[in-house]
């Protein structure tokens, strides 16, 4: 028996912020697009806070596709005017990031209680209050509550009880909580806000729900505009003839799937998500096909680590280059897989999404 | 703190705290002051071997005998911080065969319980050994945790009435009449003592110089590499004249490879090339070391008294110097030796001190457990981990996971953080092992900061200090780990690789 | 040397967050995948106090599927389990049944089916004993579709449940016993994900889950169903189907159900494990039931009239809840009629 075949115009390996942004743009332009992803994306373990370059006209284009669709999903994401445009969800400025200078404190009222939940490592109220005082001069009150009642998607009815606690037992008007529900929307937060009559702010912590929710939002939008998501399917090899790639092989559990495409986009992320791998002190392409190099970068003191972080796929006019130096005309790497784009050196989600957005013409050209 | 004591001990390594315990048990009125935290000198940077003496059997028979006797005693009195793993001496494929017989003979003479075992048997006991090894000898080496040993000494000394202070650097010593006036903490405190004991190891020269005494110390640096997980079940020694990269020590959740030996200075860090050369040496008996995940490196300084004979050839046995010969009666320096022989060193030094004080009580440190260890197992992993660390467990503790790598609960963090000895995140780490695992505090640092009630700037300082030991092992999985950590730390506005301000 | 599993972890915590057991059983009683597979093996003496945790794992592989380091976590959990030995009543019963019948459960059913042909239908122990209607229905349906399907007179357990409890020698013996019987088929089809995965591991012929067979061999063009009374079904994704056999199977299930007029597939709030795997139904029955209940409640919340699961293990465990009808997807399909 031969493996099943998926036939699309554009095949994107890697379903993080970069892959899903480009996929959604191409699908809404009418192309047949499939995105394969395997394991967690860096996007899903980030804090989900996005910084955009203020001057970039692509921000508006991006927003016209995504933002309305985010809003219809009760995401609470919005574009904020800043020196750099930040897209944030309700309350993101506080966050466990504590002192990150790129975010202003946007809450109008400074009458704040930070509520930690015992056993939840996401938000440490003492630590958050200490940092709020040190960095912003805000005297917030740290409080701790025990884990129950605590709402999750599965036990919605606790929202009411939690709202009562916030309303009756806490005098402050703004209340900061740890990430509150695994629900892909912020509906619970809104409900809590309505029921308690308080301003409820959720901490945006890494390795936790906010990033996961942002990922789910992107996936939702992608599916809505017609992208075919092939989850848990991993790109294991690419067949290349001359200067063109014509087939990709995916693993799906114990089977394989063949993908035929006109253009192949690689959006498999960096060292954190396995789009790149390490070999000794160097960084390599785990598929062992493409050339990896590094760029001059700043932002990390250690030169060895900086070098590794700034490593990524080499490109020529947006196209990938093999280890032998052949430019493959229809393989386009995007996102943090590219050199110099990894988070502590680059801008993270914002940059990754805008650059992915802007690579659409290159992909069209390759079709 | 009292303003007048019989004995003031300077230095809170194994030696100093051992003396404090010894003298306190003899009823002497004593204060110990340590500049940083306990066990932050050579003690906290050693290889963690409880030597059976085998390693020195040929080169230094006196040391070997001392180790043989002392390691037996420590297995009894310090078993809370010792894992009695046993050890193997292994003859590598290309090493000198004749050495094996000489070695066995010497061990017999030093009273070390050794016997040869089949290579095949050794390979089943230690599957990672090179299959081409040619001879294997079993020895009673063990793994010891120097941090908890030292903390145990401190606790015992306090129990017997000693005052033991960390973060109290001595900055001046003056003799006034038959007494000494010692100033501490940039002159904030001072104390009068009849006898002053200089147990400052590699700093002993500087300390003695405060009284104008010349104690010429040469520094010999030893580098070690920590690998994630237990690569070996027993200590593995290479059977050859002591050299670099000979020994693998299974230590709690890790395996430590060491050491090097070269002239060095205080505060030096390891280099990538030292790490590489250690790995190359060790690969002769343990090839898998090349693919194992190194998680950090560190260096310890051996203070050597006889500068002409640098390196390994010098005797490892210790010296108790009575500075009466330098014209300063009442001042002693204790230098050299080994962690394994700290008790014996303390006993000998204390005997001299007792004579000076004109007192007669005898040493009883060999007969009593340093801390009474709790031998009743718990069925909860984190509690059991705590028992093996602290020597005791607390049952109704808050068991939220604070450090996953080392199985430290938030309850254990909070208990330790509330000790007056603990003033920074480093101190907390040493008392719990939180942050010592493979992610090198990537996650638990926030929990530690929170338990300490400190914020991002303290956290940054701690991470920067940790980085020094990580940079030299930035290859393979640890490089990936640190890249990930850079993402994570950026969320808190931190570059964890930045040098401390 | 491949690097050891405990060396590949970067401590992102994703596996712990993804584990369905970790979500309902409190730490430290259950320690989570990272602790069991990655952190704990680095300890030595402490290991005596981990004993329950590895046995509570349902082998759902959710942890492994999200791990950015792609560590073989479930395999490592099983290794820890073997390290502690088989201590469950259920495990012992299973082994004694194997010794007696060559099956984990005493054979009960008699199927009406040819005994030779080209496509061997492998009923599997659970299919045989707990959801025989699915087996019989599948055979009938495939015959109706013109397939040369048969059930051999004799067959033995595929070994999958025994592997999960670490009974290695039994697994090898069963494979030996089955090899002559299975070796003659052109293709093997089963309705059980565990059997599919286990048999395929040791076989040169294609071993297909019935969904794969319907979609890839029979092909959708021949699967035209008559419409049915309107019904909302929640489609449960069996862990061993999605993550061992492959996620494409659930795409097939969705497409097949989507092509039936009257059937509406309802999305549940989350993907999850029913608690039926890894032997926990016998070692920790309460916990297994708690997990099943979460799935059933989620289906009810979503407005489903019935749960469909293409795995007999899931069906058996989900049925224990009792609040909602649960059917094997294969059985459901066979009860519909095809257009001729
Ligand atoms: C802990 C952490 C915190 C962060 N915080 C922030 C923040 O606060 N703000 C910010 O702007 N940025 C943040 N970032 C950075 C940001 O998350 C990344 O820059 C961004 O998500 C990169 O997106 P991407 O699409 O390039 O890659 P990813 O999101 O990593 O997506 C790559 C995808 O490809 C998949 N993949 C890999 N190999 C294959 C294969 N062979 N076949 C199929 N799929 C494959 C991966 O599994 C993954 O799903 C953070 C990152 C981390 C790790
Ligand atoms: C690389 C290496 C590996 C080793 N491996 C082993 C081994 O495996 N097994 C073994 O048995 N032995 C080993 N040793 C030997 C052993 O570590 C040392 O002999 C022992 O730790 C020495 O302890 P100490 O207390 O004398 O010195 P230190 O631990 O150095 O203590 C001196 C203390 O004095 C303090 N101090 C300095 N100046 C002042 C001041 N002005 N005021 C107050 N305090 C001050 C310092 O902060 C320090 O804490 C090793 C040594 C090295 C270098
Ligand atoms: S296989 Fe499933 S139940 Fe087992 S540890 Fe992993 S996620 Fe948890
Ligand atoms: S998901 Fe993988 S890398 Fe992340 S903590 Fe778990 S085992 Fe480690």
pLDDT digits (tens, 9 = 90+) for C163-207: 887 788 899 999 999 998 998 899 999 999 999 999 999 888 999
Residue nearest to atom 14 of ligand 1 (CA): A46
Residues, chain B: 501
Residue nearest to atom 6 of ligand 4 (CA): C15
Q: pLDDT at position B316, please? A: 52
pLDDT of C48 over the 90 cut: no
Non-local (6+) Cβ contacts of A217 within 8 A are: A70, A73, A75, A77, A184
Percent of chain C past pLDDT 90, that is, above it, reads 67
The response to whether residue B301 sits with its C-beta less than 6 Å from ligand 2 reads yes
Among A12-21, A76-85, B127-136, B433-442, which is the least confidently predicted range?
A76-85
- The C-alpha of B399 sits at a distance from chain C's nearest C-alpha, in angstroms, of 7
Quote the CATH superfamily of domain B4-42+147-217+316-357.
FAD/NAD(P)-binding domain (3.50.50.60)
In CATH, the number for domain A81-205 is 3.40.50
Q: CA–CA distance from C242 to each of A248, A258, C73, C255 (Å)?
A: 21, 18, 16, 15
Confidence grade of residue A150 (pLDDT, cut at 50, 70, 90): low
Ordered alpha helix ranges (H), chain C = 14-18, 20-24, 32-33, 52-55, 62-66, 73-84, 89-101, 125-129, 132-144, 160-164, 168-183, 193-201, 210-212, 239, 248-258, 280-283, 285-301, 312-319, 329-335
Q: pLDDT at position B313, please? A: 41
Domain ranges, ordered by start, for chain A: 5-64+212-272+328-366, 81-205
Task: Provide the CB-side half-sphere exposure for C141 (13 A, CA).
Answer: 29
Q: pLDDT at position C2, please? A: 45
Q: CA–CA distance from C99 to each of C90, C163, C170 (Å)?
A: 14, 15, 9
| Mean pLDDT rounded to a whole number for chain A | 87
pLDDT of A221 over the 70 cut: yes
Could you write out the three-class secondary structure of B428-440?
Answer: HHHHHCCCCCCCC
The response to whether residue C60 sits with its C-beta less than 6 Å from ligand 3 reads yes
| Mean pLDDT rounded to a whole number for chain B | 93
Global pTM reads 0.95
CA distance C133 to B100: 72
Confidence grade of residue A155 (pLDDT, cut at 50, 70, 90): low
Q: pLDDT at position A95, please? A: 41
B499: Cα separation from own chain's centroid: 25
Residue among B72, B7, B81 nearest B39 (CA): B81
Among A22, A349, A351, A355, which is best to mutate for testing ligand 1, by the most ligand atoms less than 8 A from CB? A349
Ligand 1 nearest-atom number relative to CA A36: 43
CA distance A31 to C318: 41
**Chain A CA closest to residue C294:** A154
User: Strands A85-88 and A78-80: what pairing?
Assistant: antiparallel
Q: pLDDT at position A92, please? A: 45
Domain ranges, ordered by start, for chain B: 4-42+147-217+316-357, 83-142+218-304, 381-491
Domain ranges, ordered by start, for chain C: 2-83, 119-218, 224-336
Q: Which ligand is nearest to the CA of C72?
A: 4
User: Strands A10-13 and B247-251: what pairing?
Assistant: unpaired
**Chain B CA closest to residue C52:** B379
| Mean pLDDT rounded to a whole number for chain C | 90
- The C-alpha of A306 sits at a distance from chain B's nearest C-alpha, in angstroms, of 9
Quote the CATH superfamily of domain C2-83.
Alpha-helical ferredoxin (1.10.1060.10)
- The C-alpha of C248 sits at a distance from chain A's nearest C-alpha, in angstroms, of 7
Please tell me the distance between residue C14's alpha carbon and the centre of ligand 3 in angstroms: 12
Q: pLDDT at position A82, please? A: 67
Q: pLDDT at position B422, please? A: 98
Q: pLDDT at position C197, please? A: 96
Ligand 3 nearest-atom number relative to CA C59: 1
Tell whether B491 lies on the interface with A, counting CB pairs under 8 A: yes
Mean pLDDT of the region C87-98 = 84
Confidence grade of residue A88 (pLDDT, cut at 50, 70, 90): low
User: Are A154 and C294 in contact (CB < 8 Å)?
Assistant: yes
Ordered alpha helix ranges (H), chain A = 17-28, 42-45, 58-71, 125-131, 158-169, 187-196, 209-224, 303-309, 349-358, 360-366
Torsion angles phi and psi, residue B343, rounded to 5: -65, -40
Q: pLDDT at position A149, please? A: 60
SS3 C113: coil
User: Are B228 and C31 in contact (CB < 8 Å)?
Assistant: no
Residue nearest to atom 41 of ligand 2 (CA): B170
pLDDT of C21 over the 80 cut: yes
User: Residue B423 CB: number of other CB atoms within 10 A?
Assistant: 14
CA distance A179 to B243: 54
Segment B275-328, tens digit of pLDDT: 999 999 999 999 999 999 999 999 999 988 765 444 444 445 788 999 998 889
CA distance B128 to C3: 13
Q: Is C91 exposed, middle or buried (0-12, 13-18, 19+ CB in 10 A)?
A: buried
Burial C241-276 (b: 16+ CB within 10 A, else e): bbbbbbbbbbbbbeebbeebeebeebebbebbbbbb
pLDDT of B70 over the 70 cut: yes
B360: Cα separation from own chain's centroid: 31
Confidence grade of residue A33 (pLDDT, cut at 50, 70, 90): very high
- The C-alpha of A108 sits at a distance from chain B's nearest C-alpha, in angstroms, of 23
The response to whether residue B153 sits with its C-beta less than 6 Å from ligand 2 reads no
Mean pLDDT of the region B431-437 = 97
Q: Is B384 exposed, middle or buried (0-12, 13-18, 19+ CB in 10 A)?
A: buried
Percent of chain C past pLDDT 70, that is, above it, reads 98
Q: Hey, which residues does B136 pair with through a beta bridge? A: B90, B117
Which run of H or of E encompasses B231?
none
Class of domain C224-336: alpha beta
pLDDT of C133 over the 70 cut: yes
Q: pLDDT at position B309, please? A: 43
The response to whether residue C70 sits with its C-beta less than 6 Å from ligand 4 reads no
Pick the CATH number of A5-64+212-272+328-366 from 3.50.50.60, 3.40.50.261, 3.40.50.150, 3.40.50.300: 3.50.50.60
User: Are C28 and B253 in contact (CB < 8 Å)?
Assistant: no
Confidence grade of residue A111 (pLDDT, cut at 50, 70, 90): confident
Percent of chain A past pLDDT 70, that is, above it, reads 88
Q: pLDDT at position C317, please? A: 96
Tell me yes or no: is domain B83-142+218-304 CATH 3.30.9.10: yes
Residues of chain C with C-beta less than 8 angstroms from the C-beta of A45? 12, 14, 68
Q: For the sheet containing C149-150, what is the strand order?
A: C149-150, C119-122, C187-190, C206-209
User: Are A153 and C269 in contact (CB < 8 Å)?
Assistant: yes
Mean pLDDT of the region A130-138 = 79
The response to whether residue B148 sits with its C-beta less than 6 Å from ligand 2 reads no
Confidence grade of residue C1 (pLDDT, cut at 50, 70, 90): very low
CA distance A360 to A219: 18
User: Are B486 and A42 in contact (CB < 8 Å)?
Assistant: no
Q: pLDDT at position B193, please? A: 97
User: Are C12 and A4 in contact (CB < 8 Å)?
Assistant: no
Segment B183-232, tens digit of pLDDT: 999 888 999 999 999 999 999 999 999 999 998 888 999 999 999 999 99
pLDDT of A154 over the 70 cut: no
CA distance B80 to B232: 21
Confidence grade of residue A1 (pLDDT, cut at 50, 70, 90): low
Q: Which string of DSSP letters, residue by residue, matches A134-179?
A: III---PEEEEE-SSS---GGGTTHHHHHHHHHHHH---SEEEES-
Q: Two tokens at C50? A: 């981990």
**Interface ipTM above 0.85:** yes
Q: pLDDT at position A342, please? A: 83
């Amino acid at each position: 028996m031969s493996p099943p075949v998926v036939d699309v115009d554009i095949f994107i390996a890697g379903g993080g912020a970069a892959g899903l942004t480009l996929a959604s743009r191409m699908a809404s332009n009418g192309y047949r697009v499939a995105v394969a992803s395997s394991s967690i994306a860096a996007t899903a373990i980030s804090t989900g806070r996005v910084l955009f370059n203020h001057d970039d006209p692509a921000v508006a284009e991006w927003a016209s596709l995504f933002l309305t669709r985010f809003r219809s999903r009760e995401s609470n994401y919005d574009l904020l005017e800043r020196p750099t445009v930040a897209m944030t969800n309700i309350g993101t400025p506080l966050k466990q990031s504590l002192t990150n200078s790129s975010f202003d404190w946007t809450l109008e009222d400074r009458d704040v209680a930070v509520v930690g939940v015992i056993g939840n490592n996401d938000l440490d109220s003492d630590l958050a209050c200490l940092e709020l005082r040190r960095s912003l001069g805000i005297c917030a009150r740290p409080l701790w509550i025990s884990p129950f009642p605590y709402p999750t998607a599965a036990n919605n009815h606790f929202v009411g009880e939690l709202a009562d606690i916030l309303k009756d037992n806490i005098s402050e008007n703004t209340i900061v909580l740890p990430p509150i529900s695994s629900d892909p929307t912020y509906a619970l937060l809104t409900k809590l806000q309505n029921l308690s009559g308080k301003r409820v702010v959720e901490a945006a912590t890494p390795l936790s729900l906010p990033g996961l929710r942002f990922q789910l939002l992107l996936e939702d939008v992608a599916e809505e505009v017609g992208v075919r998501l092939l989850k848990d399917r991993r790109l294991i090899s690419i067949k290349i003839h001359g200067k063109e790639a014509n087939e990709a092989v995916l693993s799906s559990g114990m089977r394989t799937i063949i993908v035929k495409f006109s253009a192949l986009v690689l959006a498999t992320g960096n060292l954190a998500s396995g789009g790149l791998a390490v070999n000794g002190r160097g960084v390599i392409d785990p598929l062992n096909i493409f050339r990896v190099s590094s760029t001059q970068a700043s932002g990390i003191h250690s030169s060895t680590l900086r070098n590794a972080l700034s490593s990524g796929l080499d490109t020529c006019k947006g196209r990938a280059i093999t280890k032998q130096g052949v430019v493959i005309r229809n393989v386009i790497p995007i996102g943090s897989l590219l050199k110099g784009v990894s988070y502590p050196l680059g801008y993270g989600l914002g940059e990754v999404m805008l650059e992915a957005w802007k690579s659409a013409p290159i992909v069209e050209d390759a079709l | 703190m009292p303003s007048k004591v019989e004995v003031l001990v300077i230095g809170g390594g194994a030696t100093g705290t051992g003396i404090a315990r010894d003298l306190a048990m003899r009823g002497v009125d004593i204060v110990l002051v340590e500049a940083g935290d306990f066990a932050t000198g050579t003690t906290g940077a050693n290889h963690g071997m409880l030597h059976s003496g085998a390693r020195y059997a040929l080169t230094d028979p006196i040391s070997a005998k001392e180790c043989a006797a002392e390691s037996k005693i420590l297995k009894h009195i310090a078993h809370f911080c010792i894992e009695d793993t046993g050890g193997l001496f292994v003859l590598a494929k290309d090493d000198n065969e004749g050495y094996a017989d000489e070695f066995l003979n010497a061990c017999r003479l030093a009273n070390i319980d050794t016997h040869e075992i089949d290579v095949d048997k050794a390979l089943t006991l230690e599957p990672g050994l090179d299959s081409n090894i040619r001879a294997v000898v079993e020895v009673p080496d063990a793994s010891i945790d120097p941090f908890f040993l030292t903390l145990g000494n401190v606790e015992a000394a306090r129990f017997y009435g000693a005052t033991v202070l960390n973060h109290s650097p001595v900055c001046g010593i003056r003799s006034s009449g038959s007494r000494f006036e010692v100033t501490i903490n940039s002159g904030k405190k001072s104390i009068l003592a009849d006898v002053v004991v200089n147990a400052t190891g590699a700093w002993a020269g500087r300390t003695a110089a405060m009284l104008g005494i010349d104690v010429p110390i040469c520094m010999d640096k030893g580098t070690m590499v920590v690998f994630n997980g237990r690569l070996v079940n027993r200590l593995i020694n290479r059977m050859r004249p002591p050299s670099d990269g000979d020994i693998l020590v299974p230590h709690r959740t890790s395996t430590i490879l060491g050491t090097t030996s070269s002239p060095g200075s205080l505060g030096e860090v390891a280099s990538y090339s030292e790490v590489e050369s250690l790995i190359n040496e060790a690969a002769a008996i343990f090839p898998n070391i090349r693919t194992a995940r190194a998680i950090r490196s560190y260096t310890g300084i051996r203070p050597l008294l006889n500068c002409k004979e640098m390196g390994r050839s010098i005797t490892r046995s210790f010296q108790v110097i009575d500075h009466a010969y330098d014209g300063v009666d009442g001042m002693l320096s204790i230098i050299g030796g080994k962690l394994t022989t700290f008790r014996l060193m303390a006993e000998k030094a204390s005997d001299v001190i007792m004579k000076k004080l004109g007192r007669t009580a005898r040493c009883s440190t060999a007969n009593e457990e340093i801390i009474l260890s709790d031998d009743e197992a718990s069925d909860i992993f984190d509690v059991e981990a705590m028992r093996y660390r602290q020597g005791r467990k607390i049952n109704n503790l808050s068991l939220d996971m604070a450090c996953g790598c080392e199985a430290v609960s938030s309850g254990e963090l909070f208990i330790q953080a509330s000790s007056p000895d603990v003033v920074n995140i480093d101190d907390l780490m040493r008392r719990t092992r939180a942050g010592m695992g493979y992610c090198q505090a990537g996650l638990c640092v926030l929990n530690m900061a929170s338990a300490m009630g400190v914020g991002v700037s303290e956290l940054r300082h701690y991470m920067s200090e940790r980085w020094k030991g990580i940079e030299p092992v930035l290859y393979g999985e640890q490089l990936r780990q640190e890249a990930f950590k850079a993402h994570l730390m950026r969320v808190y506005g931190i570059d964890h690789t930045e040098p401390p301000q | 040397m491949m690097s050891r599993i405990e060396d590949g972890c970067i401590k992102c915590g994703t596996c712990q967050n993804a584990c369905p057991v970790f979500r309902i059983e409190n730490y430290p009683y259950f320690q989570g995948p990272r602790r069991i597979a990655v952190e704990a093996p680095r300890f030595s003496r402490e290991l005596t106090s981990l004993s329950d945790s590895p046995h509570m794992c349902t082998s759902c592989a959710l942890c492994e599927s999200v791990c950015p380091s792609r560590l073989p976590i479930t395999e490592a959990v099983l290794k820890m389990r073997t390290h502690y030995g088989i201590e469950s009543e259920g495990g012992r019963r299973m082994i004694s049944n194997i010794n007696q019948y060559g099956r984990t459960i005493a054979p009960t059913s008699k199927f009406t089916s040819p005994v030779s042909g080209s496509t061997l239908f492998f009923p599997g122990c659970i299919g045989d004993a707990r959801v025989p209607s699915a087996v019989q229905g599948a055979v009938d349906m495939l015959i109706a579709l013109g397939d040369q399907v048969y059930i051999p007179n004799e067959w033995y357990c595929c070994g999958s449940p025994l592997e999960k409890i670490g009974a290695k020698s039994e697994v090898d013996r069963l494979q030996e016993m089955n090899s002559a019987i299975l070796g003659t088929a052109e293709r093997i089809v089963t309705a059980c994900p565990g059997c599919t995965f286990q048999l395929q591991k040791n076989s040169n012929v294609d071993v297909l889950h019935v969904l794969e067979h319907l979609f890839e061999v029979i092909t959708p063009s021949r699967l035209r169903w008559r419409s049915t009374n309107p019904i909302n079904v929640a489609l449960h994704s069996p862990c061993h189907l999605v993550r061992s056999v492959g996620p494409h199977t659930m795409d097939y299930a969705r497409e097949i159900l989507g092509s039936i007029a009257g059937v509406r597939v309802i999305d549940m709030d989350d993907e999850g494990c029913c608690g039926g795997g890894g032997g926990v139904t016998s070692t920790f029955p309460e916990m297994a039931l708690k997990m099943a209940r979460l799935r059933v409640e989620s289906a009810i919340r979503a407005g489903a009239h019935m749960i469909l699961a293409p795995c007999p293990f899931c069906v058996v465990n989900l049925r224990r809840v009792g609040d909602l009808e649960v059917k094997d997807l294969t059985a459901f399909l066979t009860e519909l009629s095809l257009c001729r």
